[in-house]
């Protein structure tokens, strides 16, 4: 069975944002993408931190070229739509954001997000006018490429030490007016905060980062009107923590007890075996 076309995945992804609520988990490599897809999740999203840590970088330190290659790989291996965590667009000026968004669209993703964070501890957010110009630039780039990629605009105040709800809402509403298809304020976590954001940008859909909203179920979040739920780099950290705990046990205690109950190699081989026709088979002679 052939994989859906890029255009079909983009149409599907856009339709998901029109009603209901769905979870969009975040794989950090091709294997985790295929496994999440196998569990029945109907869309996936890359994670900047999960990917960066998996290749030995701090979050935010990977290059544009690395991220584009990563997005392309995940989009190609997944039969479901993929949203790109495109951080701050890998450029400060609107023209640079537009060019990089164009290149991200070319990877085959069904959606992408742009942040208003600067990476500067002293001034962690772009000023309002600059942030708005950057969103407009991203919108123009997507429209020039056909307009079918879902564009998510993020306001990062709550995770960069500027937890100002009034300013967050101001920015999200302006981003919506500038053409964002979906709005996202990572770091909000209470039902009141979530409700405020949802109502402020309605009827446009809102993405909620579940890493911060502990104690709420999918049903709770759906009842608040959230359309899309992501987990960011948390799944990747769950895996990294298990690895680190096991490695420490070997290094510090000389014990392999953590290996108990681990699935056999054959289990993973059975799951991934049907992927072989998609890729050149490794040379068995070596």
pLDDT digits (tens, 9 = 90+) for 202-223: 999 999 999 876 789 999 999 9
Query: In this predicted structure, what is the pLDDT of residue 277?
Result: 46
Q: How are beta strands 44-45 and 206-209 bridged, if at all?
A: unpaired
Q: Is residue 222 part of a domain?
A: yes
Same domain, 100 and 155: yes
Query: In this predicted structure, what is the pLDDT of residue 275?
Result: 54
Q: Is residue 237 part of a domain?
A: no
| pLDDT tens per residue, range 179-192 | 999 999 999 999 99
Same domain, 74 and 204: yes
Query: In this predicted structure, what is the pLDDT of residue 198?
Result: 98
Task: Give the structural domain span for 166.
Answer: 6-232
Of 232, 252, 267, the last residue of a domain is: 232
Cβ neighbors of 148 (< 8 A, separation 6 or more) are 7, 10, 11, 14
Tokens 């564009």, residue?
151
Same domain, 66 and 203: yes
C-alpha to C-alpha distance for 284 and 256, rounded to whole angstroms: 31
Same domain, 256 and 183: no
Query: In this predicted structure, what is the pLDDT of residue 285?
Result: 36
How many domains are contained in the chain?
Answer: 2
Whether 22 and 42 have beta carbons less than 8 Å apart is answered as: yes
Return the HEC string of 76-120.
HHCCCCEEEECCCCCCCCHHHHHHHHHHHHCCCCCEEEECCECCC
Same domain, 138 and 69: yes
Q: How are beta strands 44-45 and 111-114 bridged, if at all?
A: unpaired
Same domain, 109 and 178: yes
Query: In this predicted structure, what is the pLDDT of residue 153?
Result: 98
Query: In this predicted structure, what is the pLDDT of residue 283?
Result: 46
Q: Is residue 269 part of a domain?
A: yes
Same domain, 130 and 60: yes
Same domain, 99 and 74: yes
Q: Is residue 68 part of a domain?
A: yes
Q: Is residue 193 part of a domain?
A: yes
Q: Could you say which residues of the chain have pLDDT below 50?
A: 276-277, 282-286
Cβ neighbors of 169 (< 8 A, separation 6 or more) are 196, 197, 200
Query: In this predicted structure, what is the pLDDT of residue 273?
Result: 84
Same domain, 103 and 183: yes
Query: In this predicted structure, what is the pLDDT of residue 284?
Result: 42
Cβ neighbors of 160 (< 8 A, separation 6 or more) are 117, 124, 125
Query: In this predicted structure, what is the pLDDT of residue 3?
Result: 86
C-alpha to C-alpha distance for 160 and 193, rounded to whole angstroms: 17
Q: Is residue 123 part of a domain?
A: yes
Start-to-end Cα distance in the chain: 31
* Cα maximum dimension of the chain: 63
Same domain, 37 and 123: yes
């Amino acid at each position: 069975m052939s994989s859906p076309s890029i255009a079909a995945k983009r149409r599907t992804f856009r339709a998901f944002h029109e009603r209901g609520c769905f979870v969009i988990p975040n794989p950090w490599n091709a294997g985790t993408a295929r496994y999440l897809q196998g569990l029945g999740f109907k869309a996936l999203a890359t994670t900047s931190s999960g990917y960066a840590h998996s290749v030995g970088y701090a979050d935010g330190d990977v290059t544009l070229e690395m991220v584009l290659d990563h997005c392309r790989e995940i989009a190609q291996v997944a039969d479901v739509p993929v949203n790109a965590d495109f951080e701050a667009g890998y450029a400060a000026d609107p023209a640079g954001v537009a060019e990089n968004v164009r290149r991200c669209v070319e990877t085959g993703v069904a959606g992408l997000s742009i942040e208003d964070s600067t990476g500067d501890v002293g001034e962690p957010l772009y000023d309002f006018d600059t942030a708005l110009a950057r969103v407009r630039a991203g919108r123009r780039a997507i429209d020039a490429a056909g307009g079918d990629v879902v564009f998510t605009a993020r306001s990062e105040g709550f995770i960069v030490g500027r937890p100002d709800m009034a300013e967050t809402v101001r920015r999200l509403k302006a981003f919506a007016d500038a053409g964002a298809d979906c709005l996202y304020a990572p770091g909000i976590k209470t039902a009141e905060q979530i409700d405020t954001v949802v109502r402020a940008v309605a009827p446009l859909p809102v993405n909620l980062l579940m890493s911060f909203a502990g104690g709420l179920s999918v049903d709770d979040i759906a009842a608040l009107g959230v359309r899309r739920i992501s987990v960011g780099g948390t799944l990747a950290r769950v895996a990294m923590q298990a690895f680190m705990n096991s490695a420490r046990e070997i290094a510090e205690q000389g014990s392999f007890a953590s290996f108990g109950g681990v699935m056999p190699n054959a289990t993973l081989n059975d799951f991934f075996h049907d992927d072989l026709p998609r890729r050149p088979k490794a040379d068995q002679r070596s």
